[in-house]
Amino acid sequence: MGMLDGKIAIVTGAGSGLGRASAVALAAAGASVIVSDAVDDGGVETTVRINDAGGIAVYQHCDVSIAAECAALVEIARSEFGALHILHNNAGVAWPGRDNFAPDMDPAVWDKVISINLSGTFYCCHYAVPLMAASGGGSIINTASSMAHTPLGGLDGYAASKGGVALLTKSMSPNAGRLKIRVNAISPGYVDTPMNEMIWGNDDVKHAFNLGHATGLQSSDEIADLVVFLASDHSRSLTGAVLNCDGGWTAFKQPDLLRGFGVE
């Protein structure tokens, strides 16, 4: 038996990277997974992988920056499975380029980053919590970032959005706890994913980031294992926690390794 047998999960941003790994890991642990993404090809591929491996998954398109699409995503859990126990708010975007310092940043870019990373997390929680409560409770796992604690500088919108996710997590936890819902967040360091390729840009910068982690750059699978733990009863004493699962980045980061590459 899997530790999540009989549980129903939603994973946003599940078409690639950490979201895909988490959706696959949750299904492997026994959960039925509603895979969602704004990019359909990747989301469908994740769904096929889970089903081909013997798991249960359905796909639902969702741009989390649109509240109505988040409502429709939660409605799939109700209509297809009659319940919801796990919500992994993982959808996020980091805008490429070096024009992310506040005075240089296009306000439209700021609005887009905040709407996906922070508002999208709120929208999904807003619609999911009543169904989770009616299902007997469950676990919400939000994806924050090491930038919520130690910003690099120059990615102002992303850092602000992830700091907001961390504090939303803490703020929600007392009232959610009364509904038997735990709310936690993970703050990964730099995971070897396509999104982070935009940040380091070339192999030399990537190597510097690797050295800045005590245990090296992280894999999506190792973060997904923590998502499964937070979704399960093994983490029943945790709520309102923002976990630095960052390979020692915030403890070990060596700024001198990065300054030569224009990263502070």
Neighbours of 132 (CB within 10 A): 26
Q: Which of 59, 127, 158, 190 is flagged as catalytic? A: 158
For 140-163, the DSSP string reads: EEEE--GGGTS--SS-HHHHHHHH
Question: What phi, psi does 75 have (nearest 5°)?
Answer: -65, -30
The letter for the amino acid at 207 is H
Under a CB-based contact definition with an 8 Å cutoff, are residues 103 and 156 in contact? no
The contacts of residue 188 (CB under 8 Å, 6+ apart) are 18, 143, 145, 146, 218, 223, 245, 246
CA distances to 148, 165, 169, 191 from 219, in Å: 20, 22, 24, 5
Strands 86-89 and 56-61: unpaired
Among 222, 216, 218, 139, which Cα is nearest to 185's? 139
Q: Is 158 marked active-site?
A: yes
**Spatial contact of 142 and 230, defined as CB atoms under 8 Å apart:** no
End-to-end Cα, the chain, rounded Å: 47
What amino acid positions are annotated as catalytic residues?
158
